[in-house]
Chain A
Amino acid sequence: MTAEVQVVDGPEVTSRLDNWAGARATSGAGLRGTRPGARRLLRDRSMTFLIVASVVLTLVPVIWILAQILMKGGSAMSWTFLTHSTPFSMMKQGGGFLNGLIGTAIMVVLASVVSIPLGILGAVYVVEYGKGNWLAKLIRFFSDVMTGVPSIFVGVFVYTALVVKFKYGAIMGAASLALIMMPIIVRSSEEMLKLVPSELKDASHALGAAKWQTITKVVLPSAAPGLTTGAMLAVARAAGETAPLIMTALGSLQLVTKLAGSPISSLTLLILNGAGQAFEAAQARAWAGALELLVIVLVFTVLARVFASRSRLTR
């Protein structure tokens, strides 16, 4: 390579400017002559600008949404809203989404009770027992497929499989939420269990622990913070689901605590309902409901972060 070699970039970029190795090889000029050319500086600056601009662009909608919910929801939020159910007349002022909050709580708790243990056990099988056998591959494959399935399909499935026989109700809604949570928990738990060092398992086995003892006494406790993180994120996801609940919980303006046989509401269903109304009072309630849901989801997401940061495995 000589000092006269032209680089494809452009005629003004002589090798003296752009290729100090070549320059050094011919003249022994060392680091002199290595200052970037004007065009390279310009390109550097414009790329930096583009990157910063795209960051700002992605942040704009997030901040906009948050600001909208905070302003409109905040002005409609009140103690009455949190402690009262939806009035039967949509035009009526006041009232709140207590029925939705209770409904969401019931369904998310039911769904969690089923999906969190099952999901974690599934992940334990995949990581500790399956080790790449066909069943483990199948579980992983279907978990991947299920996380990608539009949630309305889950609602339709539960509707045709269960609701037509057993009527709308909290358990039906919970079933659909559990189906949505399960694959998320399997995949996140799998990643966490994989992080448990094999040295720890070896140590446990060498002390005469059977496999199930190693799993219950060493693997699961070591992965616990991570497993909790995955579960929290799944809970947050379930609390925010609307589509599957339309077909399974149906929604109700009354405060329902029955687990089966009667339609039940959720925060998301009430937001959907209120936002679709022409009456300002209903729209205001929907905004307040959105704020309430946002806070709930945020709490679970923050909890997930806190547990993740406690993990000894991922520090």
Chain B
Amino acid sequence: MNNDLVAGEAPVFTAKDLSVYYGSNLALKGVDLEIRPRRITAIIGPSGCGKSTLIRCFNRMNELIPGARVSGEVLYHGENIYGAGVDPVVVRRHIGMVFQRPNPFPKSVYDNVAFGAKINGYKGDMDELVERSLRRAALWDEVKAKLKKSALDLSGGQQQRLCIARAIAVEPDVILMDEPASALDPIATARIEDLMQELKKDYSIVIVTHNMQQAARVSDETAFLYTEVDETTAARWGILVEFGQTGEIFTKPRDKRTEDYVSGRFG
């Protein structure tokens, strides 16, 4: 499926026959996918095709939804994060996440960034960690004078970069971004996209977006998800249609559905 990829680099994530159920409803069916290190992998597809469900499998966030169930495997550096004895809390300490709407805590800017480190028992210099994380998130210059002010007083774009800083402060090696710019204006979006290019030097990034241009602009690899419908029961679930280098997906897709989607025929 992804034979165009550079060989020899061990994947960060390997999803094997990954399916997700909400109650008895199948939401995502049989996804096989590899996320490579220090690249941006975009997950695209029409609304309701399971993009968010898929990305939330990578840090076991789906489990917070009552009734959600995952089958198959997600290997993180070769270890199944759904294996027996694996604590989802530990998984989430390695894998950062940024959400659709900026969701800073109603605390100060400083406390927001320090939150993850504090609960993880960080022993080092907290001031230094906060500054480093905010610099990495390209927010330091804007907030250095108001570290003690409420994070809720920042603009939406600043809040989202604060959420990225907060995720970075835990020193993860993957950052999952679930439509990180969909609630932001174009200028703030551009800043987030620039930031992602900076961050991919050190982190593997997975981004869900339903903005195809954004996927084309920022990502190295793209996964296209689509909804399959059972005609008799009207049940619908998401499947992975195609996965490969972003250039290929957008210029010479192998699947007809991918072609129709990226050329704007539907969605």
The total of interchain contacts (Cβ-Cβ below 8 angstroms) comes to 67
Min distance, Cβ B266 to any Cβ of chain A, angstroms: 30
CB-CB < 8 A to A201: which residues of B?
64
Stretch of A64-72, A159-167, A207-215, A249-257 that contacts chain B: A207-215
CB-CB < 8 A to A218: which residues of B?
105
Q: In the complex where A199-B99, A206-B167, A208-B119 touch, is A222 in contact with B106 (Cβ < 8 A)?
A: yes
What's the tally of chain B residues with a CB closer than 8 Å to chain A? 26
Asked if A205 and B103 sit within 8 Å, CB to CB, the answer is no
CB-CB < 8 A to A204: which residues of B?
105, 115
What's the tally of chain A residues with a CB closer than 8 Å to chain B? 21
Interface string of A204-233 (1 = CB under 8 A from B): 111111100100011001100000000000
B225 on interface, CB distance cutoff 8 Å: no
Within 8 A of A (CB), among B81-113: 89-90, 92-93, 96-97, 99, 101, 103-107
Asked if B103 and A197 sit within 8 Å, CB to CB, the answer is yes
Q: For the complex, give the distance between the alpha carbons of A207 and B166 in Å.
A: 8
Q: In the complex where A205-B92, A206-B167 touch, is A200 in contact with B120 (Cβ < 8 A)?
A: no
CB-CB < 8 A to B170: which residues of A?
207-208
Q: For the complex, give the distance between the alpha carbons of A201 and B166 in Å.
A: 14
A39 on interface, CB distance cutoff 8 Å: no
A203 on interface, CB distance cutoff 8 Å: yes
Q: In the complex where A131-B66, A202-B61, A202-B64 touch, is A207 in contact with B103 (Cβ < 8 A)?
A: no
**Which B residues fall within an 8 A CB radius of A?**
59, 61, 64, 66, 89-90, 92-93, 96-97, 99, 101, 103-107, 115-116, 119-120, 152, 163, 166-167, 170
What are 19 sample pairs from A and B whose C-beta atoms fall under 8 A apart?
A131-B66, A200-B105, A200-B106, A202-B61, A203-B104, A203-B166, A206-B59, A206-B96, A207-B93, A207-B96, A207-B119, A208-B89, A208-B116, A208-B170, A209-B115, A213-B119, A217-B115, A312-B106, A313-B106
Starting from the known contacts A207-B167, A208-B89, 19 additional A-B residue pairs (CB-CB under 8 Å) come to A197-B103, A199-B103, A200-B106, A202-B97, A203-B103, A203-B166, A205-B89, A206-B92, A206-B96, A207-B119, A208-B90, A208-B93, A209-B89, A209-B115, A210-B89, A217-B119, A218-B105, A222-B106, A312-B106
